[in-house]
Structure 1
């Protein structure tokens, strides 16, 4: 083996060892390991569950705020077919001009984020920091026509990004 080859192998080996040391130091000294956790959260602020849920884990109540009878039952069936857990179906006070209103508390932030995609981010959100359950109320408004298709939901989720904690709340530590 020539001297030039030996020298090249030594240089490449030295660079590989330096790269491993650099990566190890970066991982050990990572100061963002608890990013998004509730550290520094003011006292009394609720912890918002910002985990994006699968449809099978989302609990909803479907309420009709339109003049069309049976709309809530029809949409509830659509949600059941998409594997949502529909808890209640009923009526809400009339006068909702939007597509829908999503009412939820700190435990329903991730679920409401997913539901926003089913309305192509045209649903109004109504966050209540005092609400203690993880159920989202879906109040259908006069502008509602139909739920989005699977492809539209996936595209909308991409546009929406990750769930974020609403103002006046802190993101809960992620469960692994």
Structure 2
């Protein structure tokens, strides 16, 4: 070509169009996102068919498991002493006379072994504002006091680390009116010693 369109020199113009790097970046990002979604979906399918591998609470929320007390298997019953194996000392910390004896007589009818009966010592005399105090050695905290507490559920429970023996003191306070009725006490004692139902999973 001549004239003003004449080509000079040893370099020639590039005839093919420039590459569009922006479009290439968009394609790469799109492919990466597609692969990520596909991988996540695959993991979800594996989790559904295998039951998952997370914690128990997480698995329960994923699979819709619920817990329910089963009527079948049960836990081991709580081993507690019978009333005949519990020695009770009954002390009156109120100004009402004869309260310790009448309470001790009623406990004896219900099967408890009665020890000392009389007035409370000066540490508790006229100083117990509630219905009563159950005082026993530290070793008997979860044995004899809970059994005796079925007869007076509102009594305060205390322990004495220096105390020896297994007897429990029932110190009657100013708020005391009467022991629980025999049917109520029997029901409470049965519930205390009854085995707890096992917890089973449903819908897993």
* 2:113 maps to 1:85: yes
CA distance in 2, matches of 1:107, 1:59: 15
5+ unaligned residues in a row in structure 1: which ranges? Answer: 1-49, 163-176
Q: Is 2:91–2:169's contact at 8 Å kept on the other side of the alignment?
A: yes
Q: Number of residues paired by the alignment? A: 112
**Aligned Cα RMSD in Å?**
2.0
> Does the 8 Å contact 1:72/1:90 carry over to 2?
yes
Matches within 5 A, 1:94-173: 94-109=126-141, 110-119=143-152, 121-157=153-189
Paired residues of 1:76 and 1:86 also in contact (CA < 8 A): yes
- In structure 2, the residue matched to 1:171 is none
Instruction: Give SS of 1:90's match.
Output: strand
Deviations 1:90-146 (A, max 9, x none): 111112111110000134331111111111x20001112232210000000111111
Q: What SS does structure 2 have at the residue aligned with 1:118?
A: coil
User: Alpha carbons of 1:108 and 1:70: their partners in 2 closer, same or farther (altered >3 Å)?
Assistant: same
Moved beyond 6 Å, runs of 4+: none
Per-residue deviation, 1:51 = 4.2
TM-score (norm 1): 0.58
- Superposed displacement of residue 149, structure 1: 2.1
